[in-house]
Structure 1
């Protein structure tokens, strides 16, 4: 419930995400998007706050990995049951200070946000690891990230999942 302290960051940006809460463990080299949805106790709208040491986010792939993929902070709304929701088709609206700055659909994340989580699970399986029940997994940015600073308010709305607001100071 606290505003984002932008003074603690270098060049913060925000992007909307579909967030999965796992209801059971998920592992294996053949996990599919359907498996992810079945293993999820809820899905929610989220906002990821990115930050980077690289000026204007100009980096190579090796740079972004070394910079922890620009991950900084995130906020998550109230999860809803994914049953009956086609996450590929949900509409996404990102607002900054009450103005629409980007729109997308859930399909902007590898064709289906659960496909992104399935990909992650398969990558973890190569090292004998997986995802655990109770974990929260962000499925990837759905629009370009927008710069934020003191006084800004970011709102992410996703059809059937709700909306979440992040004030910045």
Structure 2
């Protein structure tokens, strides 16, 4: 795909983000679109947001667990960039009016204390470079119409990033078995789903190592202080006005989030 089309599609995503509207899947319009094309479109989309004043604060790994893969029909991980405008604090109410077609997922966030760059990064390297882990919610949101996505569509759309909130409960990953730690997700006081760290590429640390190595091949490092969202351990949760979610990770604690307003779709 030539640079003109890459810029065109990245700009189209940025406008859809601003207007809270959806667009036709790229895979319908460009049957030969490659993953490399999709990541270049993502970079253009994110650059537009950075040019408008946002900062890169971390990375996210997407499509790591079987429930999410089955729901989306996407069967390999992807990644996106986290920006400063995506960050909510626990206790904040997330305004659905700023989103298009949101769904929530519960996962584990890694906050780094050291730089980390692949290739050759192992799960143990990730643990050593991590200041703390915390339960979190990512509210994914697709600019692609009706979530009709293939891997190239979600990659171009910054791995369907919306916003995220990290819980105030923190733990040193050396002190907790994040692989076997169970996760319980409640919606409006009722059990919605359960999960375990091993559902994410065998361990959330494996997923973070995968991303460090994938980005390392592109010359992109993890930086100290960055947040890395390691991938969903829950089913995707549709959310509407008044919903409250709580996820609890064994040995670490809980994260809660509330929603108000009405999304665009």
2:187 paired residue number = 96
5 Å-filtered alignment, 1:1-169, equals: 1-78=91-168, 79-169=170-260
Q: What are the superposed Cα offsets for residues 72-117 of structure 1, whole Å, 9 maximum, x if unpaired?
A: 0000013221123111100001111011111010111100001011
Unaligned 5+ segments in structure 2 are 1-90, 261-265
Shift of 1:54: 3.1
Q: Counterparts of 1:160 and 1:34 in 2: how far apart (Å)?
A: 19
> Whose RCO is larger (CA < 8 A, sep 6+)?
1
Kept in 1: contact 2:116–2:222 (CA 8 A):
yes
Q: State TM-score, norm by structure 2.
A: 0.62
Q: Counterparts of 2:257 and 2:146 in 1: how far apart (Å)?
A: 22
Q: State TM-score, norm by structure 1.
A: 0.95
Q: Counterparts of 2:232 and 2:216 in 1: how far apart (Å)?
A: 23
The SS at the match of 2:142 is coil
The root-mean-square deviation of aligned C-alpha atoms, in Å, is 1.1
Bigger Rg, structure 1 or 2: 2
Unaligned 5+ segments in structure 1 are none
Shift of 1:55: 4.2
Q: What are the superposed Cα offsets for residues 106-129 of structure 1, whole Å, 9 maximum, x if unpaired?
A: 111100001011000001111222
**Aligned residue pairs: how many?**
169
Q: 1:56 to 1:102 in 2, by over 3 A?
A: farther
Q: Counterparts of 1:55 and 1:102 in 2: how far apart (Å)?
A: 26
Kept in 2: contact 1:15–1:94 (CA 8 A):
no
Kept in 1: contact 2:112–2:130 (CA 8 A):
yes
Shift of 1:2: 2.1
The SS at the match of 1:168 is strand
Q: Counterparts of 1:49 and 1:67 in 2: how far apart (Å)?
A: 14
